[in-house]
Amino acid sequence: MQDKQSLASDTGTIWDTAIIGSGPAGLTAGIYTTRGTLKTVIVGGSSWGGQLMLTSEVDNFPGFPEGIMGPTLMENMKAQAIRFGAKFIQENVTAVDFSKRPFVLTVHGSPITAHSVIIATGAETKWLGVPGEKELIGRGISSCAPCDAPFFKEKYVLVVGGGDSAMEEALVLTKYATKVTIIHRKGEFRASKVMQEKVFENPKIRILWDSEVIEIKGKIKIEEIIIKNLKTDETKTIKADGLFVAIGHNPSSSIFKGLIDLDEKGYVVPKIGSKTNVEGVFVSGDIHDHVYKQAVTAAGYGCMAAMDAINYISNFQ
């Protein structure tokens, strides 16, 4: 943990690179920049580690033939970046100033200055945005099945979504719940074949196609969930104990608004490779990748951004 005092002691330092974010993109970038002898600070966020911190077994990250727990993988990446000399700060960046050289990041009220910045802030859970949802998060509504599945022992749970994360949530939940229903807006999933097959083979899982949740009712816990069929417009009420939301993610780019090029959805738009429209500011991972969104692609993008930053700093000096 970083206290105010030790942060303040760093305010005189001008870092070669400041990495914002600590998912696979940010931490891989940190491994490469430190090994490339850049003086590196990783401002990892108070909730560090990214989306993999909310997963269980990760079976598609190369090098772990038996799979690895998502949080363990992130602990390992962090330790690897620190091993080569990265300074890790577990705080959020609240503002950035790209109009000055060196660049200035505001962290816990203190400035951090750096000659280059790697943006690796990733993406955060997209909620449904329907009535009743906000009030019941933590009271039956969740976006983290590996965290919360055991609370739904012998209960009936709904999962909303159609991608790999929805499949994983549903499968994890079957270890505890008696019945799991996946609600999906379309008539087919976009999840990988292997995940879909696991879902179709599981006797505890049912699927409600072409449907969406329009309201969640309940006071101190979920009581009823109102579902609408998008083809027939009919609504029905389901009595369930839990609702897991896995409909995707929004890019975490609000602090960069107006400062670098973002597209209409908020993704950073890179110009060439990892370079943004601001010279010396690079981008990696899910904050700009709206296509692949994998741990391993994020790590790859982190490596690219680091190599571009190393190149930039060597020409700069």
Partner 1 sequence: MAVNKVTDSNFDQEVLKNSLPVMVDFYADWCGPCKMAEPVLEELSESYKDKILVVKINVDENPQTAGKYGVMSIPTTILFKAENEIERQVGFGGKQKFEELIRKVVT
Which residues contact partner 1 (rule: CB under 8 A)? 1, 3, 45-49, 52-56, 70-71, 74, 90-92, 137-140, 142, 144, 146-148, 150-152, 220-221, 242
Report d(CA 87, CA 189) in Å as an integer.
41
Minimum distance of partner 1 from residue 142's CB (angstroms): 5
Q: Which of 16, 144, 241, 308 is catalytic?
A: 144
Minimum distance of partner 1 from residue 23's CB (angstroms): 12
Comparison of 140 and 161: residue with beta carbon closer to partner 1: 140
Cβ atoms 56, 70 nearer than 8 A:
yes
Comparison of 27 and 278: residue with beta carbon closer to partner 1: 27
Here the tokens at position 317 are 């000096």
Q: Which of 148, 164, 241, 308 is catalytic?
A: 148
Active site residue 303: no
Q: Which of 3, 10, 97, 147 is catalytic?
A: 147
Minimum distance of partner 1 from residue 100's CB (angstroms): 26
Active site residue 164: no
Minimum distance of partner 1 from residue 229's CB (angstroms): 28
Cβ atoms 255, 93 nearer than 8 A:
yes
Comparison of 16 and 91: residue with beta carbon closer to partner 1: 91
Comparison of 46 and 311: residue with beta carbon closer to partner 1: 46
Active site residues: 144, 147-148
